[in-house]
Structure 1
Amino acid sequence: MQKQLIQQVSQAMQANADTIARQKDVIDYQEQSIERLKRLLTALAETQDKELKALPSMFEALETSMSEHNKEQRAWRQHRKEHTEGQIVLAEQLVTLANAQLQLTTALKQYQSMLVPADDLTSDMIALETMLESTMDQLKSSQNAIKQSQSKLMSELETVAKLVNK
């Protein structure tokens, strides 16, 4: 029995030693985990510290960027305003031009309606030419008749002059 008791105590001591070894392994693992966690927390703290230190310059860069963006936006709005005003002026000028063209077209139509068609002018011209030729022929014939009358009068005058001189 004593042997058994010694054996049981021995087994209990072995089990206790195994438990202690396992607990030591767990403690080592936990210490490694704690060390790893410390390193990670340190790295995180350093990163956050760098980010906090960079934050003012990042904020300044953001302000500068926003300021430039606002300037560009104002310039673009001004350009759009000028463009729109230019388009309005252009449209007004086009309306004025269109009105002037309408007035010109109306005046041209009135002028054309007052003009005698070219065919009528041609036939009137031919009629005038024919009338002129006829009048010229009559004038020539009248001139010939006058010349003949003058010739007769001259010969009669000569005859009268001869008679008066006798």
Structure 2
Amino acid sequence: MSESLLVRVAQIAAIVVCIYRVSSILWWLVGMVTAHKKGPNEADVRAGSRLKNARRLRRMTQAELGDLLGVTFQQIQKYENGKNRISASRIVAAANALGVPPDFFFDETEKATPDIADTSAEMRKLVDLIAAGDALEMNRHFSNIKSPALRKAVVSFVTAIATAADDQP
């Protein structure tokens, strides 16, 4: 082999070693980035859950809410699952579309101002309770009862059962 060919092979070998080192560093960096990737934020998950509960209570589909907010139903799914954060402007738009105050989507401890009306906390508690599977089904059926007297009787019946259940150990 000629000396120039040996020099050329040595240069190529040096380049291959450099490429290998650079690719190793790049793979290490990719690993570091994915290892530090954050999961869903707890507050985002709670806000998304409340968004879903309020939407279901309004009997609104994800597509319908998405149309009102100017996003796809897939984006609504991501909001509801806490995968994507919902912006402040979209929170306000969602609150308007669902007939709840914007602070409905947050816990008392997450709010910026401490003097928010208690009705928001009560509404959140009510929506969380009603959104439970059996409670949601019961409310759907209850809304079909047209007679005020019959509705009052059902409420009295459920109140009596709840009171009796409170007395049980």
Q: Structure 2 length normalisation: TM-score?
A: 0.29
Bigger RCO (CA 8 Å, 6+ sep): 2
Which is helix-richer, 1 or 2?
1
Q: From the CA coordinates, give the structure whose radius of gyration is larger.
A: 1
Q: Structure 1 length normalisation: TM-score?
A: 0.29
